[in-house]
């Protein structure tokens, strides 16, 4: 049975973004499906916070009049489940680029990892990855990075409310992080590796919560597409 959506009046849609999809691909797909269903040329659809292509999990999309509420969802706390590979780094801090430097990990144990994580609790300064969409001088950082141009990064103030180890299977460490808007988990992975006198990069990321919204209530784009088929 098709869900009785009110897209013009406004809907808050919870999606589980697929791996390798950009956030804009998801928005564009949802917009196209809604336009086809309603037989309209235009409909407002916006997202309340992007996810990198190599990340999966919760994305909130708002339609119609609900797009006015996007800022509220963007400002909400986020929760992530992240897997970090220790002993190496990549220029992008994730799997978009190949490992470029390698470090020892024999000195790292569970106690050392848990102690290192305490350094990131609370209000901290964080440098964004050079491979990110933040604009410096009117140009996105990743555009400069791919051209090999040098960019001076400025730290951003963020807050990490909770951080805990879920599992350790060296060189992989899985953690749960609850944090403020603007936090880059890729940068956190890199910084954790550095604090451990080693290296680290983000090899898997899933966003599990945005504010009060939980991933378990989100739908896949394929299921939404099925619901949008005309009866």
Instruction: Point out the residues that are catalytic.
Output: 52
Cβ count within 10 A of residue 74:
18
Cα–Cα dist 110/47, whole Å: 38
Cα–Cα dist 80/62, whole Å: 21
Beta-bridge partners for 46: 62
8 A C-beta contact, residue 173 and residue 202: no
Q: Is 216 exposed, middle or buried (0-12, 13-18, 19+ CB in 10 A)?
A: exposed
Cα–Cα dist 159/179, whole Å: 6
CA distances from 187 to 3, 84, 175 (A): 39, 11, 14
Beta-bridge partners for 209: 79, 214
């Amino acid at each position: 049975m098709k869900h009785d959506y009110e897209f013009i009046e406004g809907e808050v849609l919870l999606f589980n973004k697929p791996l390798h999809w950009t956030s804009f691909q998801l928005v564009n797909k949802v917009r196209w499906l809604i336009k086809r269903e309603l037989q309209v040329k235009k409909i407002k659809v916006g997202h309340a916070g992007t996810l990198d292509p190599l990340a999966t999990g919760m994305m909130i999309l708002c339609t119609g009049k609900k797009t006015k509420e996007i800022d509220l969802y963007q400002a909400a706390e986020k929760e992530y489940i992240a897997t970090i590979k220790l002993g190496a780094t990549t220029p992008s801090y994730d799997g978009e680029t190949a490992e470029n430097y390698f470090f020892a990990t024999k000195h790292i144990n569970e106690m050392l990892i848990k102690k290192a994580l305490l350094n990131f609790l609370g209000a901290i300064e964080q440098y964004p990855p050079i491979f990110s969409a933040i604009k410096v001088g009117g140009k996105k950082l990743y555009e400069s990075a791919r051209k090999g141009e040098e960019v001076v990064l400025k730290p951003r103030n963020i807050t990490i409310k909770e951080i805990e180890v879920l599992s350790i299977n060296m060189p992989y460490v899985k953690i749960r992080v609850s944090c403020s808007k603007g936090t880059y988990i890729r940068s956190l992975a890199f910084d954790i590796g550095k604090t451990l006198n080693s290296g680290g990069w983000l090899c898997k990321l899933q966003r599990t919560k945005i504010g009060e919204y939980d991933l378990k209530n989100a739908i896949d784009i394929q299921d939404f597409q099925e619901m949008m088929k005309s009866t």
